[in-house]
Structure 1
Amino acid sequence: MPDLSCDGCADDQRTTMSRRGVLGRAAAAGAAGALAGLTGDLLSTQLAFAAGRYSGDVLVVLSLRGGFDGLSAIVPAGDPAYYAARPGIAVPKSRLIGGDSRFGLHPALAPLLPYWKAGTFGAIQAAGQRAPNRSHFAAMEQLEQAAPGTSLRTGWLDRMLGGLGATDPMQGVSVGGMMPARVMAGPVPALGMKSIDEFAMFGDQAGQPMAATLAKLYEGAPAALSGPARQVTGSLATTRALAATAYHPANGAVYPDDTLGRALRDVARLIKGKAGLMSACVDSGDWDMHENLGIAESGKRMHDKLAKLAEALAAFARDLGTAGMKRVTLVTVSEFGRRVHQNGSGGLDHGYGNAMMLLGGGVVGGKVHGRWPGLSERHLVDGDLAVTTDYRAVIAEILHKRCGLANTRAVFPDIRRTTSGIVRPR
């Protein structure tokens, strides 16, 4: 059987994504052959206008690829079936932090505990897709299209950006990858970048001014051609302006020097640089833990992954500060959860229901939302945690209350907007 870990799927999904029209798509694609990092001399007045117009939250979507085990992170300590199912890897009640009589946080999430106590970090348990799907690739595709049973093939973030009137690639950015995430696939311009500092047009260098040549080539051309060219040069100029000044995180924030830490650091730069950002996508891989998940101690696989995740999220929140986080909502998603029962290799196979985590000034945190179905055998779905909250309903509430999107059914056609109280209205 081929390796279907999240990291193995990421490149495939990005190379199969459809292109959005020649230069417009090139501006969005980063390294799809035209852009691999950006430089330029022209400032985008269109971008500046867009930045001033949007007043909703910046939605940051953090994809935990590979099948995140929400039962290890947001531990159902009040359910005895949890400890019976995981005799070798369950998190002892004595090690849990935060939480309440039903749930506790894995001790590796300690960097996020201040935000839990402040009510800006929270979770939803037993969340997930409408039906089980234990294939990494197929489940991620469904997660990102988010329109099962319809003919829609665009990504849900593309539909969100379209509903908010996005017209510039800098308004929807995926950071850490050279191609825009598939969740942004569709007609609305979007951008993929490995990092701000490395964002440059392929081949653009001294004596070979590709970006300036592109601008000159389309000067005075019809709008259908010059518009996409301006998007390219505007994106180049915006990132060049940000990269021109060394970035120093505020408030003593220190990001981990890994892919996730660097990506969230750049998202903070885009937000604080007033680049017009409406939504950002970031990936965190290697959550496919079929073996050796480990006990809740430093040096063990799950503990150390959660510790790095918490460290990066806490640095992001600290960098933006209280005022900055008032306009940001970060939400985690994953293609599926893990099995309730540990396997013979001390790990967990592909499952169904999962936990989502939220961080932001408008989050109703310090608690675990959602209806808990229980882990006794009669409540499981083929041995997995049942889903009682559609992940799209969580995001729809964020889009409506925090991003100001009135027609959320244009994003999630079969999801009615909820008022479950996961976030507060702006």
Structure 2
Amino acid sequence: MTADDMCGCPENRGVSRRTLFRMAAVGGLTTATTLSGATLAFGAPAGTGTLVVLSLRGGFDGLSAVIPLGDAGYAKARPNIQVTASQAHKVDSMFGLHPAMEPVFKLFENGTMSAVHAVGQADPTRSHFEAMEEMERAAPDSNLRTGWIDRTLGSIGDPGGFAGTQVGSGSMPDSMIGPNAKFAMNSIAGVKLSVGEDLVPLARWRSAMKTLHTGASPDLKAPLTNALGAVGKMAPLAKAEAKAAKDVGYPDTALGNALHDVARLIKADLGLRVATVDYGNWDMHVNLGRADAGWMFNQLKEMSQALAAFAAELGTDGLARTNLITLSEFGRRLEENGSGGLDHGHGNVVLALGGGLKKGIHGRWPGLGASALVDGDLAGTTDYRSIVSEVLKKRVGVDSTTDIFPGYKARAVGLVS
């Protein structure tokens, strides 16, 4: 948001009482913009672990990415769009990886990357909106309206420093809805004061804020205090010399740029506990493509390149305290449709990257025989909340997920050691 947008007067370059009141009225300065679909929740003590949630929006087909080559039902249901055993990268006697995922083959081989197959959620639906809303709220059969990431931040006490404020076009996922402090950005370089930090020094903002808030309650002070704190912490990182995402090996895309920024934040040790990044365009009802070209191939290749670069940029130390997992609202149907695509389904795969992972493909494989399917879909034998619970406890340091996932008793998945 520019000064023109805020007050309609381009000549206003200073910090006036009126300007501060206007910004307070809309919720702060810059604590919630958009990071190419990425939202970052800060405030934990430095040195703690980080969970990165890569949301594959649109309904990711896990059967195309981690292929059940050893199950005869797969090839039978997909005569035109299947990946054959000779084309796939073999992981074990049952599963292989799509050839477009070549950038991460070595990560699977050395245990830096693994997966859980046949993942689902309670009361599955084929509606994008309803499925994602329920996944991010993660509290079925309850009246809770907060998101599971917000409840996670609440469970670790006061994460401090960054209020849950949004400005302009910024939007957080439903998983972050709630009262606990969060922060959102377009990019590290984009974190700045709305009327221009270069024109109005941060010290003057703080002085003006102190005058404005004399005698004010903590609730009234919080948005501006958190906004200025965010700018103060992020400014040195934004000004530091940094290579462009493409120069570090990321694809020159929104996903590459977002993961590059997340890696920089983790390496800066700012106390990042949870980061979310969106990567859409998985709704492949038509023309999914072949094993060597097409829509799915291109999507998987871009994602794999970005994940490989993310791992390389973090290095051994950064990965040791980071786990990235993919989540999607649902998988696709087993059987291909008449348009060379796949309609909405249920069971899916969760990809995992980072430290302390157990090698291989995890979860109970239900099979693709007719009696094992759920209305034509791969059954979900592992609830995604069990995966998230395991990562929160073993990587992020959450003591209990009882209040994060109310009414749900997480089961051991064996993904994180």
Both proteins in one fold, TM over 0.5 = yes
- Residue 390 of structure 2 is aligned with which of 397, 406, 409? 397
Q: Which residue number in structure 2 is paired with residue 371 of structure 1?
A: 364
- Residue 255 of structure 2 is aligned with which of 244, 256, 260? 260
For the 8 Å contact 2:385–2:410, the answer to whether it is kept is no
Change (3 A) 1:249 1:316: farther
Larger radius of gyration: 2
1:123 aligns with 2:125: no
Quick one: percent identity of the two aligned structures? 45
| SS of aligned partner of 2:189 | coil
For the 8 Å contact 1:29–1:192, the answer to whether it is kept is yes
Tell me how far 1:276 sits from its aligned partner: 1.5
Tell me how far 1:372 sits from its aligned partner: 0.7
Change (3 A) 1:97 1:169: farther
- Residue 319 of structure 2 is aligned with which of 307, 322, 325? 325
Deviations 1:93-136 (A, max 9, x none): 10111410011111111111111111121011110111221111
Change (3 A) 1:207 1:118: closer
Q: Which residue number in structure 1 is paired with residue 356 of structure 2?
A: 362
Alignment of 1:8-407 (within 5 A): 26=28, 30-31=32-33, 50-52=44-46, 55-168=47-160, 178-204=170-196, 207=199, 212-213=204-205, 216-219=208-211, 220-222=214-216, 223-248=218-243, 253-298=248-293, 300-365=294-359, 367-407=360-400
| 1: CA distance, partners of 2:202 / 2:196 | 5
Q: Which residue number in structure 2 is paired with residue 9 of structure 1?
A: none
Q: Which amino acid aligns with 2:297?
A: H
Change (3 A) 1:121 1:85: same
Q: Which amino acid aligns with 2:346?
A: Y
Q: Which amino acid aligns with 2:81?
A: I
Change (3 A) 1:108 1:215: farther
For the 8 Å contact 2:131–2:329, the answer to whether it is kept is yes
- Structure 1 unmatched runs, 5+: 1-21, 37-46
Deviations 1:267-309 (A, max 9, x none): 01111112211110000010000000011113x1101100000
Tell me how far 1:228 sits from its aligned partner: 3.1
| 2: CA distance, partners of 1:165 / 1:199 | 26
Q: TM-score scaled to structure 2, two decimals?
A: 0.86
Q: TM-score scaled to structure 1, two decimals?
A: 0.84
| SS of aligned partner of 2:52 | strand
Deviations 1:355-385 (A, max 9, x none): 00000111112x1111111111111111111
Q: Which amino acid aligns with 1:226?
A: K
| SS of aligned partner of 2:385 | helix
| 2: CA distance, partners of 1:245 / 1:238 | 12
| 2: CA distance, partners of 1:294 / 1:370 | 28
For the 8 Å contact 1:168–1:190, the answer to whether it is kept is no
| 2: CA distance, partners of 1:369 / 1:246 | 41
| SS of aligned partner of 2:371 | helix
| SS of aligned partner of 1:423 | coil
For the 8 Å contact 2:154–2:180, the answer to whether it is kept is yes
Tell me how far 1:225 sits from its aligned partner: 2.7
Q: CA RMSD in A?
A: 2.7
| SS of aligned partner of 1:331 | strand
| 1: CA distance, partners of 2:27 / 2:68 | 45
For the 8 Å contact 1:172–1:277, the answer to whether it is kept is no
| SS of aligned partner of 2:190 | coil
Q: Which amino acid aligns with 1:384?
A: D
For the 8 Å contact 1:294–1:301, the answer to whether it is kept is yes
Change (3 A) 1:420 1:31: closer
Q: Which amino acid aligns with 2:255?
A: L
Q: How many residues align?
A: 384
Q: Which amino acid aligns with 1:83?
A: A
Tell me how far 1:336 sits from its aligned partner: 0.4
| 2: CA distance, partners of 1:179 / 1:348 | 30
| 1: CA distance, partners of 2:26 / 2:311 | 33
- Structure 2 unmatched runs, 5+: 1-23, 37-41
| 2: CA distance, partners of 1:415 / 1:326 | 28
